């Protein structure tokens, strides 16, 4: 296989949503579609079985990005490393934007729910006061009934 073809084979386009990771044995940078999450795949460099990382459950669409390192016994093309770093940085920036938007939405939701909670607490306090008033009236009525039953007709 020619060097050009070998480089073309090794250089895969990294797309949004791809999982980026390193081989734990040789350090080779690898990328796989998110559908490969959790699978065992052979390393493109050393051939050993490597488990594809599973992205964090809190952000299932977030890729796991790794910093490229040269493969054992060889050097990677600096331009390829730069492209991989650019792709990883782009994905990280997109994730930051998604998380910032999610955080803002959660803060708005929290504020709304706090207002609802406060409003409900005030209503419950008013209801409790009314129930106490009703209970006092019932206690007086029961006392009057007991008094009326205990009196003998004249």
Q: What residues does each domain of the chain span?
A: 3-103
42 SS3 class: strand
**pLDDT at 112 (0 to 100):** 93
Tokens 């390193």 appear where? 22
Contacts 24+ apart (CB under 8 A), 96-100: 98/59, 98/61, 98/62, 99/59
Ordered per-residue pLDDT tens for the chain, 154 residues: 344 434 444 456 778 778 888 899 998 888 888 878 888 889 989 999 888 888 765 544 544 455 555 555 556 678 888 888 888 888 889 999 999 998 999 899 999 999 999 999 999 999 999 999 999 999 999 999 999 898 877 6
Secondary structure letter of residue 5 according to DSSP: H
């Amino acid at each position: 296989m020619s060097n050009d073809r070998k480089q073309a084979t090794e250089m895969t386009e990294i797309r949004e949503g791809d999982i980026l990771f390193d081989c734990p044995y040789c350090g080779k940078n690898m990328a796989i579609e998110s559908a490969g999450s959790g699978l065992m795949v052979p390393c493109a460099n050393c051939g050993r079985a490597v488990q594809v990382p599973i992205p964090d459950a809190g952000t299932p669409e977030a890729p796991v990005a790794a910093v490229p390192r040269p493969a054992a016994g060889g050097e990677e093309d600096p331009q390829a490393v730069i492209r991989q770093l650019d792709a990883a940085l782009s994905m990280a920036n997109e994730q930051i934007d998604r998380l910032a938007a999610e955080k803002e939405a959660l803060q708005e939701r929290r504020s709304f729910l706090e207002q609802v909670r406060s409003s409900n607490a005030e209503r419950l306090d008013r209801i409790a006061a009314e129930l106490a008033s009703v209970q006092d009236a019932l206690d007086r009525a029961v006392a009057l009934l007991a008094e009326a039953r205990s009196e003998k007709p004249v």
